[in-house]
Amino acid sequence: MRAFRYARATDPGGAAALVAGEPDAVYLGGGTNLVDLMKLGVLRPGLVVDVSRLPYDRIEHLPDGGVLIGGAARGGRIMRDEALRRRYPAVTRALLSGASAQIRTQATVAGNLLQRTRCPYFQNTATPCNKRDPGSGCSAIPGAHRDLGVIGTSEHCVATHPSDLAVALAAYDAVVEVRRPDGAEVLVPIADLHRLPGDTPWIETVLEPGDLVTGVQLPPPPSGAVATYRKVRDRWSFAFATVSVAAVWSADEVALALGGVAPKPWRLTATERMLAGTDPTDDEVRAASRAAFTDARPLPDNAFKIELAADLVAAVLRDLRSTGAGR
Amino acid sequence: MTAGSGLSRLEGRDKVTGAARYAYEYPVEDVLYVCPVGATVASGTVTEVDGTAALADPEVVAVVDHTNAPRLLPAVTADELVFQSPSVAYRGQPVAAVVATTLEAAQEGAAQVLVRYVEHPHRVALDPDDPDLEQPETTNAGFPGTSVKGDVDAALADADVVVDHVYTTPPQHNNPMETVAIIARWDGDRLLLHDSNQGPWAAATGFGMLWGIPPEQVSVVTEHVGGGFGSKVWPTAGAVVASVAARVTGRPCKLMLTRQQMFTMAPARTATRSHLRLGARRDGTMTAIDHDTLQYSSVIHEFVEQTGSATRTMYASDNLRIRHRLARLNLPTPRVMRAPGKTPGMFAVESAMDELAYALGLDPLELRLRNEPSTDPASGLPFDGRHLVDCLQVGADKFGWTARDPTPAARRRGRWLFGTGLASAMYPVYQQGGKATARAEPDGTFHVSVAAVDIGTGARTALWQEAASVLGVRSVVIHIGRSAYGRSSLAGGSAGTASWGGAVRKACAELRRLLAEHGGAVPRDGLEVTADTAADQLPPDKARHSYGAHFCAVRVDADTGQVRVDRLLGVFAHGHALNARTAHSQLLGGMVMGVSMALHEQTVIDPRLGLFVNHDLAQYHIATHADIRGLEAHSLERADDDVTLVGGKGIGELGIVGSAAAVANAVFHATGVRVRDLPITLERVRAA
């Protein structure tokens, strides 16, 4: 590991001041991904600024029925929030399905959204990777890509975003609060936070240097909505999603977001349009789900994810229907 | 507390409170930290190791490579001969090491070392059509590479029913919690090691061979070990690097492999491919068993997984053919892992038996009963205790097998498909001779020492029980984990506790006789006996194995193909257990490994890069707690299984053998999908 300096920010302005003029500075939240990547030599920051103790750890239920979750809030606490579990079950289920109890307790919301792909080549400095080493080539496309993306990818990168939480937030149309280095607060819809790789896979979000994710706003869930998050993975705990789905379903609309298939939480907008206001059969859900993959770029060993996603969406809507959703 | 009872581990409290000291944790003055550098090509020649950038850090003391390392002599495998030539046989092979005053500096230095190569073409794919496949004469553990009885081809041609399929298992890696760890120090021509291994005497022997010194000149201390599973049986490349660094720098050197380094600097299990053909008459009598196996070794050393060895002894057939072929690939030399040969081979055999049962319309348990041999099928030797049928029948009763409807894919509730499957288990009896010393002190205490090691099996506790039982007192102190206690067995081949226990029993019995000669009074200088069991070994006149049967219940998600093992019940015949609690724990552990192998474990190879891709525990999946439900192990302690010097037969590896097939057979029963390639991933279940 490269030797680095550590500084703890005591207030938001201080955090911005600490990283100003430090091109190899990073913010530290729970450290559950950053520190791993530093040990692997994937990230070699010169300065680590700990922002985990800034006053952004609140969970605030708003009068309009929405909720604000601070960027420094940790997963363990979020899951214990009774109102959140009742009103946004897809969020708390997504959190519960991620990582292990120890990691959830340590990891922050901001760090969760900004965590890096678990593509094995990205994490191995002895192999080419366009995301880690621009222009060196993608090892995954001709190599081991079974766990990687099938849509939104490019010829330069097929990495997936590994978060479960972000998928659920996407289904609720969450908005990310960002504090700019100059103190300005900007709001970024979660759908716009992550960028697709295109020919610049090393640029993963719209954030600029020094930007700090201070929280996530969840709008009130649609009236009468039922929601869930279901994760298909290779073992029953402590594994990233092969495919996961967050579904928020009400009489008039359905929101569907997938994990495990794309470089960002992937909303099935075409599917949503086809299913809104209907009471579809399993086969209709599958057909509508496939329609969202017309632009897919599956690879030989991960093409199964598309049909798996269609089956999973059908299964989840079937389960939600039995709890009184939709109609 | 006497032998056989379920005494809890003597060192349990030390382990859970952190007081137990592992190899890496010994305080050593003036110690240096070592970080190996692995090759980044899969085949080639090192043209330059440029350590300039690394050495610019004042904390970096040395960069070791093939140009400045001392010469080593051949020992167990060529992988241990680190830094002896510029040749690269596989990616990850140590090509250099950075030695520094801090761990961080050593690791950063390793990242800064610039290694240049001439790259050669490489091969890493196991291919049955590879024109260069070898036909080895013998396999690991001394089995014949090829053995033939009768005329298999004619019998297959005449059979009423033939099952003919290929089964594969991927490369798998031992992943003990404690990775390879060592502190090496030279005192003149004496090598002093704190080392994590599966046998201090074997470590002393192996390091002695490498350095050209007798094992008595190598002092190995191995008090506690956080698991081995085969990865620490002989000195690993990683551990040898530390001894080289200590020689080069003249200072104590410590090294602990990272999880990633464990995948290439410690041994693993080869991929296997089993082509099985079973022939039977309509009544279920098997007439032909043909097991053609393929495995790989490295290009620098021949290691042949004994994949077909269990097939030689499981079921009666007048015509039996076992073949082993070997591919030589640019991968680390594979070695032993959790019941070598038996584990991958029995996945194939026990899956094929299930397929034969379906082809015959017979219950799979009945098929096995009808083909129970009266003598060992390959050798013709009589059995020394064989209770496979017993295990199957007791297991069927406990599991509730008899009411089973064999129809596949016929039990659905909601999203779940349910199914059950069974498979047999076996493991050979091994026992090695060795020394143990028992000493009586005038104060009434007894000290018993043996160069055993407790890699988590409970060996220390079981040996204490043996000593206390023979001596008839509780005031016994057991000393293990030092090569200085003399020639002794490995913790391997499920033979450790039986071998060490035999020597302990003998020493204690002789001490007791000596005490009696002294009228029960211990002289001022004490009384001491060293016993050696080298001459007390089992004659090769009988076929000796422990046996077992696994019964598995799974559910499969009909939407996604996800498999969950609801229940795995094993019944095992291993004779007398020295400690019922730790024996039970070992059987359960083996079964967990079987579930893990069935559903999760695989080291993914990137053929283009010659790379083990998923080289950490986030990516190399082993079963988690959530994957293990309804686990039951039952023991049949039949007296005619009491064949070793301590009574029973080996237990350590029995639980894993066959368990993956029980899972696969249950998945077939649930879904109608026969997965013949491990692991049983959801896309393989969905593919049908």
> How far is the C-alpha of B7 from the C-alpha of B579, rounded, in Å?
7
**Which residue is closest to B38 within chain A, CA to CA?**
A126
**Which residue is closest to B611 within chain A, CA to CA?**
A127
Chain A positions in Cβ-Cβ contact with residue B93 (cut-off 8 Å): none
Residue B14's CB is within 10 A of a number of other CB atoms, namely 14
The pLDDT assigned to B6 comes to 87
When pLDDT is cut at 50, 70 and 90, the band that residue B146 belongs to is very high
The owner of tokens 């000669």 is: B517
**Residue A76 reports pLDDT greater than 90:** no
Cβ <8 Å between A1 and B682: no
CA-based nearest distance A87→chain B, Å? 26
Give residue-wise pLDDT tens across range B82-140: 999 999 999 999 999 999 999 999 999 999 999 999 999 999 999 999 999 999 999 99
Cβ <8 Å between A125 and B111: yes
The pLDDT assigned to B248 comes to 98
Mean pLDDT across B564-574 = 98
**Which residue is closest to A322 within chain B, CA to CA?**
B414
Joined together, the tokens standing for residue A233 give: 């993975």
Angle at A63 between CA A59 and CA A69, to 5 degrees: 20
**Residue A326 reports pLDDT greater than 50:** no
Any chain A CB within 8 A of the CB of B560?
yes
Give residue-wise pLDDT tens across range B362-392: 999 999 999 999 999 999 999 999 999 999 9
Cβ <8 Å between A236 and B614: no
The per-residue DSSP string of A105-150 comes to: HH-BHHHHHHPPP--TTTT-TTS--TTTSTTS--STTTS--TTS-S
Quick one: which H or E segment has residue A239? none
Any chain A CB within 8 A of the CB of B57?
no
Any chain A CB within 8 A of the CB of B336?
no
Give residue-wise pLDDT tens across range A96-143: 999 999 999 999 999 999 999 999 999 999 999 999 999 999 999 999
Cβ <8 Å between A234 and B681: yes
| Residue A253: partners with Cβ closer than 8 Å, 6 or more residues away | A222, A272, A276, A277
Q: Do the beta carbons of residue B352 and residue B671 sit within 8 Å?
A: no
Chain A positions in Cβ-Cβ contact with residue B621 (cut-off 8 Å): 234-235, 239
Cβ <8 Å between B625 and A304: no
CA-based nearest distance B563→chain A, Å? 9
ipTM for the complex? 0.97
Whether a cis peptide bond, with omega within 30° of 0, leads into B408 is: no
Global confidence as pTM: 0.98
Q: Do the beta carbons of residue B509 and residue B515 sit within 8 Å?
A: no
Give residue-wise pLDDT tens across range B26-40: 999 999 999 999 999
The pLDDT assigned to B321 comes to 98
Q: Do the beta carbons of residue B439 and residue B528 sit within 8 Å?
A: yes
**Residue B522 reports pLDDT greater than 50:** yes
Give residue-wise pLDDT tens across range B441-455: 999 999 999 999 999
Candidates A37, A43, A124, partner chain B, best to mutate (most B CBs within 10 A) = A124
Give residue-wise pLDDT tens across range B620-634: 999 999 999 999 999
> How far is the C-alpha of B638 from the C-alpha of B647, rounded, in Å?
10
Cβ <8 Å between B609 and A315: no
Cβ <8 Å between A311 and B559: yes
Catalytic residues of B: 653
Chain B positions in Cβ-Cβ contact with residue A126 (cut-off 8 Å): 38, 40
Any chain A CB within 8 A of the CB of B108?
yes
> How far is the C-alpha of B571 from the C-alpha of B654, rounded, in Å?
10
| Residue B298: partners with Cβ closer than 8 Å, 6 or more residues away | B78, B79, B89, B90, B328, B329, B330, B331, B332, B333, B334
